[in-house]
Amino acid sequence: MKSDVRWKQRFDNFLKAYTDFFEAIQLTKARELSKLERQGLVTSTDFGLSQETIQNIQSVFF
């Protein structure tokens, strides 16, 4: 039963990271990001969009 909850939590985290990443990309189209903003973009999406997280989510369905 716990595994059912874990994949939902992973997927929610993935969606949050993807949404944040997408918003940041839209911002880069509107203006140039500062060095600190670029570093924050990479750091903030590193966990949620990691290959391991995506594989864990996919393992539930395949």
Burial classification of residue 1, based on how many CB atoms lie within 10 Å of its CB (0-12 exposed, 13-18 middle, 19 or more buried): exposed
pTM of the model: 0.62
**Contact call for residues 54 and 19 (beta carbons, < 8 A):** no
Q: Which pLDDT does position 62 carry in this prediction?
A: 61
* CA-wise closest residue to 47 among 8, 26, 20, 7: 20
Cα 3 from Cα 30, distance rounded (Å): 41
Note the pLDDT of residue 30: 94
State the pLDDT at residue 47: 60
Residue 23 vs residue 50, higher pLDDT: 23
